[in-house]
Amino acid sequence: MRSFSLAGAVALAAMLTGCGDSGEPAAQPPANDQHAEAGHADDGAVTLSADQIAAAGIQIGRPIVGGAATVDLPATIEGDPQATQVVSAAISGRIVALNRNLGEAVARGQTLAILESREAAQLKGDVAAARARLQLAQATLAREQRLFAQRVSPEQDLIAARTAATEARIALTQAQSQVSAAGGGGGALNRLAIVAPLSGRVIARPVTLGQTVAADTELYRVADLGRVSLSLNLRPEDAGRVRPGNVVAVTAAGRRSTARIGFVSPALDPQTRLVPVIATLDNRAGTWRVGEAVMAAVQLSGGDGDGKVRVPTTAVQTIDGRDIVFVRTAGGFRATPVTLGDAAGDTIVLKSGLTGTERIATTGSFTLKAELGKGEAEHED
């Protein structure tokens, strides 16, 4: 609940007392009010005029009825892990070309960088040697087939030639695969080209031209930003009411969009003791940026919130161990007992106590609580 300082409460109570001495007759609640106890018609009633309510800064509104419960929390825009890929050097070497800068668009298969390396020369040399051995083995096989057909060469020579040709073909395929895994292309024998594994935009380039890098060094990071992720951390009790497919309303300065939950972690984060949740957000219009902080309203499934009455948390106070909401009456307000359910962001669900048609004090309820306590003390005197 929202709290105020004791000095503020005393000052507001004094102001209300001063306004009450203005000579305006105070309206009394009906004697048969269902909340009044026998012999105590004023129990729970705070008598205030409209001017006194306005002077005290008390705002009046109606409860929220219906709609799924939500929880509001900060979140962060991140690149979709399924659409982000690190482009690294498979071999060591010196960077002789970097073809894309940060933020630039790239297409799948487009050359991003070129490495110059002795290892590259070795790999390409192995391909050339394997290709030459295959050509020789195929020529030998063709000759043995002719000789065998002429009954000049025995069948075992034909079988040996066929086996040698097969092994040479496998060796060439293996050598070509090694070059492909390292990058391929690049022009000169000692150069390899590093290509983009997917279409998107360059979001990181941690290396510089002329730098010598080791194998597995990150050269680029490419992301398809047409779809981004929303990283959330929920309390375990809230995470238990979130399912894949639940809607998340995402808001930031001047922007609003809708995401859907795609993943709810089955385990708590060991540091925060919260449940990591990931939602997917359409970003084809380029509205959201990776790393941006936003607010997210996560729809909760089940629980007490669906279709029930909700009030702002600022409207609820506790008196003598009972939760109450101040309901507007003809003469002021009456403290009405309520039964609280689940919290839903900055609102709280009521299991009972209000129908949803009442007008209630949405802010300033602490002032009313202080005035009610003051009135009960005067009554005892």
Number of domains in the chain: 3
Sorted by sequence, the CB contacts under 8 Å of residue 30 that are 6+ apart come out as none
Q: What is the pLDDT of residues 300-345, one digit of tens each?
A: 776 555 567 889 899 999 998 999 999 999 999 999 999 998 776 6
Q: What is the pLDDT of residues 70-114, one digit of tens each?
A: 788 899 999 887 888 999 988 899 999 999 999 899 999 999 999
**Which of the two residues, 64 and 363, has the higher pLDDT score?**
363
* Nearest residue to 203 via CA among 104, 286, 278: 104
CA distances from 37 to 25, 28, 97, 372 (A): 23, 15, 86, 16
Q: What is the pLDDT of residues 154-189, one digit of tens each?
A: 999 999 999 999 999 999 999 888 888 887 777 778
Are 115 and 162 contained in the same domain? yes
How much is the pTM?
Answer: 0.52
Boundary residue ending a domain (249, 265, 299): 299
| Residue 174, helix vs strand vs coil | helix
Contact yes or no for 361/315 (Cβ under 8 A): yes
Per the structure, the complete domain to which residue 330 belongs is given by 6-69+306-380
Partners of residue 211 on adjacent β-strands: none
CATH number at residue 288: 2.40.30.170
Measured between its terminal Cα atoms, the distance across the chain in Å is 30
1 belongs to a structural domain: no
Q: Is the pLDDT of residue 261 over 90?
A: yes
- φ, ψ for residue 265 (rounded to 5)? -65, 135
Are 33 and 98 contained in the same domain? no
Residue type, 319: I
Partners of residue 192 on adjacent β-strands: 115
Sorted by sequence, the CB contacts under 8 Å of residue 261 that are 6+ apart come out as 242, 243, 244, 245, 246, 247, 248, 277, 278, 279, 298
Boundary residue ending a domain (205, 223, 241): 223
